[in-house]
Amino acid sequence: MTIYLDTADLEIISENIDKNFCGGITTNPSILSKINNLDYFAHLKKIKQLCKKYNKSLSIEVTTNDKRKILKEALKIKKKYNFAKLHIKIPVSHDNLSLISNMHKNKIKVNVTCVFTLAQAYLSADSFGDYISIFYNRTKDLGEDPIKIIKNLRKYIDNHNLKSKIIVGSIRSRQDVEDGISSGAHIITVPPKIYTELFENKGTTNSINQFLDDIKKIQKRN
């Protein structure tokens, strides 16, 4: 299991990208739209440089869903930001899955995104998607069971010796992270707030404070 950061905040990325437990960065147009005074291409270049420096994965999403333009844009992204762990995010669809198979043949790594159903997940794996991104809470919001999708997809990947890896995004709590891991996801991508919460617990804080208080008592006696 690996944790990715779902952010485009350069300060947060810079502070965490060198850590062993941070495996990479995922971005999308919605995340990037929150950056003030954004120079889109220059900003992505800075993220890419950090990921390349520390040998971490980076997913960049295409900005079109026109099948005639997706391949052209994917090639442009690869040329502009090319490094070994670059993945290009492409939404799942009938037409796009055909493109993804062709990209696989041309050694373009693809993160198949916007996956909400088990059928979409199976088809993405069969189309040689390198990553398959399941939107955990958005799936729940639509009345589907993301845990069932993750478990069955992991079993399908393992049984058929496929190389696809499951990314679980749309995370809103630490419990979501734990459920994703327990269900068999290879990667959980989390927003900065939840990422911080993974390291924190009231019991841990209270225990540390108790130990510090007790050592002070010992020191006073000596």
Residue 17 near residue 34 (C-beta atoms within 8 A) = no
* CATH number assigned to the domain comprising residue 127: 3.20.20.70
Residue pointed to by tokens 């993750």: 150
> In the 8-state DSSP scheme, what is residue 16?
H
Instruction: Give me the helices (H) in 17-163, please.
Output: 29-32, 40-53, 67-81, 94-105, 118-126, 136-141, 146-159
Residue 61 structural domain: 2-221
> For the residues 169-180, what does the mean pLDDT come to?
97
**Using one digit for the tens of pLDDT, what is the confidence trace for 4-16?**
999 999 999 999 9
Distance of CA 203 to the CA centre of its chain: 29
Percent of the residues in the chain that have a pLDDT greater than 90, as a whole number: 81
CA 59, CA 50: separation in Å to the nearest integer? 13
Predicted local distance difference test score (pLDDT) of residue 185: 98
**Using one digit for the tens of pLDDT, what is the confidence trace for 127-143?**
999 999 999 999 999 99
**Which residue, among 159, 60, 154, 151, has the nearest Cα to 113 in the 3D structure?**
60
Residue 57 near residue 48 (C-beta atoms within 8 A) = no
What is the total count of domains within the chain?
Answer: 1
pTM: 0.92
Predicted local distance difference test score (pLDDT) of residue 65: 86
- Mean pLDDT of the chain, nearest integer: 94
**Using one digit for the tens of pLDDT, what is the confidence trace for 36-84?**
889 999 999 999 999 999 999 999 999 998 888 999 999 999 999 999 9
Predicted local distance difference test score (pLDDT) of residue 219: 86
Predicted local distance difference test score (pLDDT) of residue 100: 92
Q: 156 vs 55, 70, 73, 115, CA distance in Å?
A: 29, 28, 31, 16
Distance of CA 168 to the CA centre of its chain: 7
**Which residue, among 37, 43, 7, 2, has the nearest Cα to 23 in the 3D structure?**
2
pLDDT of 102 above 90: no
Predicted local distance difference test score (pLDDT) of residue 136: 98
- CB neighbours of residue 61 within 10 Å: 23
Predicted local distance difference test score (pLDDT) of residue 206: 87
